[in-house]
Chains A and B, each alone.
Chain A
Amino acid sequence: MSSNGVRDGYNFAYLDEQTKRMIRRALLKAVALPGYQVPFGGREMPMPYGWGTGGMQVTAAVIGRQDVLKVIDQGADDTTNAVSIRAFFRDLTGVRTTERTEEATLIQTRHRIPEKPLREDQILIYQVPIPEPLRFIEPSEVETRKMHALEDYGVMHIKLYEDIAHYGRIATAYAYPVLVNGRYVMDPSPIPKFDNPKMHRSPALQLFGAGREKRIYAVPPYTDVRSLDFEDYPFEVQRWEQCCAICGSRDSFLDEVIIDDRGSREFICSDTDYCRSRTEQAVDNPSGARPGTDEEAANAEGARNAC
């Protein structure tokens, strides 16, 4: 370990400066064309493709010594891959890491947007497996690039319509396509559609990196992000009849946990930091006087009984 906290023999944040510059140029273009997929010379990273190499390259390109990094996977800071990526950047940048959303300046995420609203001084970096929202309708990249250029998005609406015809509703629950800044249809990465509304006019810069597919795209702060829908079948998000078994939240995305071999289940917040901070506040303030909180949230055990 060298004096600046970076593993010996490696550049700050692993990538060499020329590669970082190349990625930053792609990022600038992406910010200038919200929702447009910018091809970039994606590098091989020491982690497998599909495990967040795109997000890691974007993080490596924008991270500075003053940054505070948070890494989540499925909303949680302690899932194995989030642990691994966080350790990688701690090892190769020496920057401070955190699990608290409000403390982070950079948040690299897989499949979730934190529940706490983000601010202007934060950047959210998404890991993207398949950046092309039209891919499962048209497998050829040559064709999909043409479709984006011509704003030829009819097939996407047909797909959504066919869902309604077959299942009575739009049968896309995650990676739900959005229209960015009224121009490009974009894949928001496999976040649940529950998170789509958080992208709309978010004060935080949102960057997307797809390593294997070698594409970068972005949603600048305060940009319109509309989930595709129909007037008579408006976009709607998931909701649960249960509340979080730990903090009692009724507003967060809940993961289902099977707790015995008879299939009994509980629901808990997927955003572990959100859940923990609510529980802490409840402990600090057991009278339940915290504004905007359901009363049952004041006591975790009570919350379970209430649900």
Chain B
Amino acid sequence: MYVAVKGGEQAIRNAHELLAKRRRGDRDQAELAVGQISQQLALAVARVMTEGSVYDPELAALAIKQSAGDLVEAIFLLRAYRTTLSRFYTSQPVDSAAMLVERRISATFKDLPGGQVLGSTFDYTHRLLDFKLLAEGDSEVAEPAAPAPRQTDDGTMPRVMALLEQEGLMVCESSQGTPPADITVDPPAYPCDRSARLQALVRGDEGFLLALAYSTQRGYGRNHPFAGEIRIGEVEVSILPEELGFEVVIGTLQLSECEMVNGFSRQADGEVRFTRGYGLAFGQQERKAMSMALVDRALQAPQYDEEIKAPAQQEEFVLSHCDNVEAAGFVSHLKLPHYVDFQSELELLRRIRSARADETMSGENDDEQ
């Protein structure tokens, strides 16, 4: 007699043991250390921290190790850990004008206060595989003679947008003074507030945002972008404990920030001004920050009375599909058993077909009569 497959519990245990074995790989190779990942795969760590919504290079590196380099899985691990954390304080807004800049470029001005600082970048590298890296052992890495970024008199590097704002050429961004939304605590409701939108985009999948951003450049919601400024560096994070009454710096974050200058639009006061999009990510993640800025601008379409016709302009579409933990979960759930639903469809399909066969048969009989 047929007996339905049993033993799920043991099978799951075996599968997980095999996973651990595969993750470790060939034991002739040294085990990968978390420190090596956070130091030598820093860009992967940055992505996991950004989309995982936790700034902790060690935990992100651990997640990457545990997930055998599957970054979406690593992001999920970090998110699942994040939900169990208590929140003690909300930090004060970070000030990216006071950033200790490692890299800062503007595609809109040849020179500007603080100057162009190339920093570390893949840009202008020739994408030729470097076979020297195949060699075992520590290869010599020259210490670059990086000139210290020119900073202005007050030690800060002013933002390009502020310069355009001063001249009245750029729409101003100002805080409404309302506490920012937190989509990890409150369910999203559409249309949503800009803070919720930006939060969703920061957590959003880099690949998805990149594709949407690209689509705006190809005419699906074109918004005439210029990379006004991209800056990467360390900013201080501070909290303001009520019982103390003054700010206390609790650490620093490495951030990538992108401000796009976008096509101008006539404003309520009758003046024509440039519009803007904003992108932010943990660590060095220019591609993510730029994509986010383009999509942020595309989503401002209603604000500028632009016709909403491209996917990147549709807030509900973009925000409800940009999260890769949600998306990967729901796509992968198709692997779960669907015996019952499929049986229902089978039964229905057979019934529709047999009804049709009956009709055809009775039709033939009618002809004979």
Interface check A226, CB cutoff 8 A:
no
Q: Knowing A50-B330, A51-B333, A257-B4, say if A111 contacts B341 (CB, 8 Å).
A: yes
Chain B residues contacting A87 (CB-CB under 8 Å) are 9
Number of residues from B at the complex interface, CB < 8 A: 51
Determine which of B2, B191, B338, B343 lies in contact with A142 in the assembled complex, contact meaning CB atoms within 8 Å.
B191
Q: A84-B12, A257-B2 are in contact. Are A44 and B325 (CB under 8 A)?
A: yes
Q: Are B338 and A212 in contact (CB under 8 A)?
A: no
Q: Is the CB of A171 within 8 A of B352?
A: yes
Interface residues in A1-59 by Cβ distance below 8 A to B read: 10, 16, 39-46, 48-51, 53
Q: Which of B23-31, B79-87, B252-260, B299-307 touches A?
A: B79-87
Which residues of chain A are near B251, meaning CB under 8 Å?
none
> Which listed residue, B9, B80, B328, B344, touches A192 by the CB 8 Å rule?
B344
- How many Å lie between the Cα of A202 and that of B136 in the bound state? 69
Q: Contact between B355 and A168 (Cβ–Cβ < 8 Å)? A: yes
Residues of A within 8 A of B2 (CB): 245, 257, 259, 266, 268
**What is the chain A residue whose CB lies nearest that of B9?**
A83
Q: Once the chains are docked, how many angstroms separate the CA of A167 from the CA of B10?
A: 44
B332 at interface, CB cutoff 8 A: yes
In the complex the two chains form, is B329's CB within 8 Å of A75's CB?
no
Which B residues touch A51, using CB under 8 A?
A: 329, 332-333, 336
Is A66's beta carbon under 8 Å from chain B? Answer: no
Report how far A156 CA is from B329 CA in the complex, Å: 28
Q: Is the CB of B4 within 8 A of A48?
A: no
- In the complex, the answer to whether A141 meets B190 with C-beta atoms within 8 Å is yes
Chain B residue contacts of A10, Cβ below 8 A: 84
Q: Please, which residues of chain A bring their CB within 8 A of the CB of B185?
A: 41
Residue-wise, chain B 290-317 has the 8 Å CB interface mask toward A (1 for contact) of 0000000000000000000000000010
Q: How far is the CA of A253 from the CA of B344 in the complex (A)?
A: 9
CB closest residue in chain A, given B359: A168
**Contacting residues, chain A, for B12 (C-beta < 8 A):** 80, 83-84
Given A214-B187, A255-B339, A257-B4, do A238 and B344 touch, yes or no (CB 8 Å)?
Answer: yes
What is the CA–CA distance of A243 and B270 in the complex, to the nearest angstrom?
77
CA distance A53 to B329 in the complex (A): 10
Q: How far is the CB of A102 from chain B (nearest CB, A)?
A: 21
Complex: A269 Cα to B100 Cα, angstroms: 66
CA distance A191 to B189 in the complex (A): 28
B190 closest partner in A (C-beta) = A142
Taking the nearest CB of chain B, how far is it from the CB of A197, in angstroms?
Answer: 14
Q: Which residues of A contact B3 (CB under 8 A)?
A: 246
Measured between C-beta atoms, what is the minimum distance from B139 to chain A in Å? 40
**Residues from 73 to 98 in B contacting A, C-beta threshold 8 Å:** 76, 79-80, 82-84, 86
A49-B326, A141-B320, A255-B343 as given contacts; A304 in contact with B333, CB under 8 Å: no
List 13 other contacts, CB 8 Å, given A43-B83, A129-B333, A240-B347. A48-B325, A49-B326, A74-B338, A74-B340, A75-B340, A80-B12, A110-B336, A168-B352, A169-B351, A173-B348, A212-B330, A238-B347, A256-B343
Residues of B within 8 A of A (CB): 1-4, 6-9, 11-12, 76, 79-80, 82-84, 86, 184-191, 316, 320, 325-326, 328-333, 336-341, 343-348, 351-352, 355-356
Residues of A within 8 A of B (CB): 10, 16, 39-46, 48-51, 53, 73-76, 78-84, 87, 110-112, 129, 140-142, 167-169, 171, 173-175, 190-194, 212, 214-215, 238, 240, 245-246, 253-257, 259, 266, 268, 270, 272, 300-301, 304
24 contacts between A and B (CB under 8 A): A16-B84, A41-B186, A44-B82, A44-B184, A45-B83, A48-B76, A49-B325, A50-B332, A74-B338, A74-B339, A75-B340, A78-B4, A83-B12, A140-B316, A173-B348, A190-B341, A192-B343, A214-B188, A253-B343, A254-B343, A255-B343, A268-B2, A272-B4, A300-B1
Q: Across the A-B interface, give the 3 residue pairs with the lowest CB-CB distance, nearest first.
A: A49-B329, A50-B333, A173-B344
